[in-house]
A = this chain, B = another copy of it.
């Protein structure tokens, strides 16, 4: 198809219109296999290569696409490398950095309904949810209690997964194609209940992080998560600068056993 309409007298510059249209088509899944080259876009939109390049340069600056010499631009496989992010990613990567082995005990993996959680995922109260509860270990000691709810319509395929050694995000991407692209989390400092203390083998006076999190993928809320992390074994570590903003770093000292 040629002659895609761009408002030539519109209020916005051509390259910006082109940029937005490309993002729109990208989200619609049009470029799943290959991103069109510059000359194709020139022909398609009937604009100069200069304009196309200006639009693409913006997309590249935003990390949406990756381009190299002599090679067609490709859609950036961003979420694979820069990852799920957030405090939880920091937690698990810091465990890995410390050399301790990670594994989980699956305490529950089933489908259930929960009106409160469902509403937090913008679902009807009776909507079925995949529920996964794990006790995560670093070395031989428990580190965190992790509970996740996902819409069953999206995540039903997870029921057959073995979560004792793989991560939720890996299975989610593998089995449903969903990758979290953004989210929001609240981190609180709490005192664990006696039951939680027993489960996590906490010392009596230990505090804990309580992390609530909503994860989005492709415009939908796909997970509501609550994680309780032993405060005596984990610290959030971050660097901040005017240039690079706030970045969690995995250099956290996960005490090698207590």
Q: Which of A40-48, A168-176, A233-241 contacts B (4 or more CB under 8 A)?
A: A233-241
Mark each residue of chain A from 201 to 221: 1 if its CB lies under 8 Å from any CB of chain B, else 0: 000011111000000000000
> Quick check: is A181 within 8 A (CB to CB) of the other chain?
yes
Given A207-B208, A245-B245, A246-B247, the answer on whether A238 and B187 have CB atoms closer than 8 Å is: yes
Cβ B86 vs Cβ A188 within 8 A: no
> Quick check: is A8 within 8 A (CB to CB) of the other chain?
no
Interface residue tally for chain A (C-beta within 8 Å): 44
Mark each residue of chain A from 151 to 166: 1 if its CB lies under 8 Å from any CB of chain B, else 0: 0000000000000000
> Quick check: is A182 within 8 A (CB to CB) of the other chain?
yes
> Quick check: is A190 within 8 A (CB to CB) of the other chain?
yes
> Quick check: is A6 within 8 A (CB to CB) of the other chain?
no
> Quick check: is A252 within 8 A (CB to CB) of the other chain?
yes
Cβ B185 vs Cβ A240 within 8 A: yes
Mark each residue of chain A from 45 to 61: 1 if its CB lies under 8 Å from any CB of chain B, else 0: 00000000000000001
Q: Which residue of B237, B243, B253 is within 8 Å of A182 (Cβ)?
A: B243
Cβ B186 vs Cβ A252 within 8 A: yes
Closest to A61 in B: B61
CB distance from A51 to the nearest CB of B (A): 14
Mark each residue of chain A from 191 to 202: 1 if its CB lies under 8 Å from any CB of chain B, else 0: 100000000000
Instruction: Specify which chain B residues have a CB less than 8 angstroms from the CB of A246 in the assembled complex.
Output: 85-86, 245-248
> Quick check: is A231 within 8 A (CB to CB) of the other chain?
yes
> Quick check: is A82 within 8 A (CB to CB) of the other chain?
yes
**Given A183-B239, A191-B205, A246-B247, 11 more contacts at CB 8 Å?**
A63-B243, A78-B242, A85-B246, A86-B238, A184-B240, A185-B240, A186-B235, A187-B237, A189-B189, A245-B247, A246-B248
- A interface residue numbers (CB < 8 A to B): 61-63, 78-79, 82-83, 85-87, 181-191, 205-209, 229, 231, 235-243, 245-249, 252-253
